[in-house]
Amino acid sequence: MAGTEAALRSLAHNVRAARTRAGLSLDELGRRAQVSKGALVALEKAQGNPNFATLVRLADTLGVSVSALLEGPAQGRVRVVAADAVMPLWAGEKGSEARLMLTTSGPAPVEVWRWRLEPGEEYPSHPHQAGVVETVSVTDGRMTLVVDGTEHSVEAGQTAAFDGTVPHTYRGAGTGTCHLIMTVHLPPGPGAA
Q: Give the global pTM.
A: 0.67
Q: In this predicted model, what pLDDT tens digit does every residue of 110-150 receive, in sequence order?
A: 889 999 999 999 999 988 888 999 999 999 999 999 999 99
Q: In this predicted model, what pLDDT tens digit does every residue of 38-62 receive, in sequence order?
A: 888 888 888 877 777 788 888 888 8
Please provide residue 131's backbone torsions phi and psi, each rounded to the nearest 5 degrees: 95, -5
Q: In this predicted model, what pLDDT tens digit does every residue of 23-38 receive, in sequence order?
A: 888 888 888 888 888 8
Q: What is the dihedral of CA 130, 26, 36, 186, to 10 degrees?
A: 20
Q: In this predicted model, what pLDDT tens digit does every residue of 78-90 receive, in sequence order?
A: 667 777 777 888 8
Question: By percentage, how much of the chain surpasses pLDDT 90?
Answer: 39
149 Rama class: left (phi>0) / alpha (psi -120 to 50) / beta: left
Taking 60 as the threshold, does the pLDDT of residue 96 lie above it?
A: yes
